[in-house]
Chain A
């Protein structure tokens, strides 16, 4: 059967309209049906996770600008995404957006994940300074246990090692010091 509209392509969509008890049937090809716009074709459902996220973000909807009493437009310097756009599409524009929107992130993440702290994998290079930080903490605990055991000679060595690591961490230009 040929499409009622273009009369060229094969009809693949068969629409039955019932308006005031009148029934009409239309046979359309995919292209014409898409143009008529009565029918959603995309395999992705029109309502996506991003719509839901938008709802979660707008729970605390009063914009920061009003709270602070002056107009501040939160916008990522790296990619240009504004907070309003982020809240609308539910996706970040680049890695810098996480810093730009940091103040708003904790409530959102808590709603999605019930948590605001990553505890998983630390990548070798990108997470170098964090790895260092974690190992300094471990060494400090070890030092404490050595002191309690009165193993002072070994404790002194561990203390020196910790100082070395701390110097390393400072030189490494750690940008996570606020955490």
Chain B
């Protein structure tokens, strides 16, 4: 399939490196919501209107392509359902974009750091996703795309309400900034709830990643801004960066305490997790996330040296259902999936034996 080029299991930019404060901050994301004047928003628009939006965005993206080169245009209805799901699992598009794949698309930069969703909740969702804590850089890149698109698209904008988004919760800047942080030591030392509720008190939203509801899977937590109107983009990003730095410091202290006070216990825990991951025959994603979190902690603390620090980020994507099935080349049912997951993980953790 021609347009499917570029949808694969290669690491996106956020997965392939650590980045600043990358031992604790997995990724930074900035997203700008934009609509085009007069056109009804996607959930109300007719097919003909949505395809005109897509055409306009595609025409406007020429300028973008000149500036940043490699930019793939992927129409969701030209992709297999599995390929769409892989894009979701890599965090490059949202689940909403593929709910109505008929008229939605994404412009994806070669390094997969920039993705511009077309006809999601808003006509445009410009996203920049980078490794580590670098929200300012992500904002700069997203802003740059925004400016280039605005050169030829008539944005819906108003002096009082800012960018006119579909949902009033995004009005103003249309900016959602978020970080994904890995906080195993705060969980182990039972300080996590204290830290999370403090974050919530300063007006930021906190939620677990991949977990059911509020449950924290793999000790991964996402922190994001809630307010988009009445604060400038710089302010929003600075606030979130500042709070994230505090969280990083708390986690680093907790890790130090673990090392100082219960080194043997923590050594046992991370190596035990490493052993289980290397030698299991079946592996559920829930168990894998917890064990990978332990192994990653071991790598960060210098207790495990055989695998790179990016292992948690790569595997937490690759072990998800669509990625597993794309890798296997065919559909996998319950037990097969667990078997394939176990095989994938152990081959990644013992590269000298299994990898090609």
What are the residues of chain A within 8 A of B143 when measuring CB–CB?
Answer: 121
Bound Cα distance from A159 to B156, whole angstroms: 33
Tell me whether A127 and B159 are in contact (CB under 8 A).
Answer: yes
Residue of B157, B173, B213, B334 ringed by the most chain A CB atoms within 10 A:
B157
A: number of interface residues (CB 8 Å) = 41
What are the residues of chain B within 8 A of A117 when measuring CB–CB?
Answer: 160, 229-230
Tell me whether A125 and B158 are in contact (CB under 8 A).
Answer: no
Tell me whether A118 and B166 are in contact (CB under 8 A).
Answer: no
Bound Cα distance from A133 to B160, whole angstroms: 13
B44 interface residue per 8 A CB criterion = yes
B: number of interface residues (CB 8 Å) = 45
A162 interface residue per 8 A CB criterion = no
Number of A-B contacts (CB under 8 A): 137
Known: A98-B158, A114-B230, A118-B173. A90 touches B40 (CB 8 A): no
Bound Cα distance from A92 to B355, whole angstroms: 51
Known: A93-B44, A94-B44. A109 touches B333 (CB 8 A): no
- A residues with a Cβ closer than 8 A to B are 10, 12, 43-45, 49-50, 53, 78-79, 81, 90-96, 98, 105, 108-109, 112-121, 123-127, 130, 133, 176, 179
Interfacial residues of chain B within 301-347, with CB under 8 A of chain A in the complex: 333-334
What are the residues of chain B within 8 A of A90 when measuring CB–CB?
Answer: 167-168
Tell me whether B151 and A125 are in contact (CB under 8 A).
Answer: yes
Tell me whether B155 and A98 are in contact (CB under 8 A).
Answer: no
Known: A53-B168, A112-B168. A121 touches B233 (CB 8 A): yes
Bound Cα distance from A116 to B171, whole angstroms: 10
B275 interface residue per 8 A CB criterion = no
Q: Which of B37, B165, B213, B230 contacts A115 (CB 8 A)?
A: B230
Tell me whether B162 and A118 are in contact (CB under 8 A).
Answer: yes
Task: Specify the chain B residue showing the minimal Cβ separation from A43.
Answer: B95
Q: Which of B39, B40, B95, B231 contacts A44 (CB 8 A)?
A: B95
Bound Cα distance from A90 to B233, whole angstroms: 24
B228 interface residue per 8 A CB criterion = yes
B131 interface residue per 8 A CB criterion = no
What are the residues of chain B within 8 A of A121 when measuring CB–CB?
Answer: 143, 146, 162-163, 173, 232-233
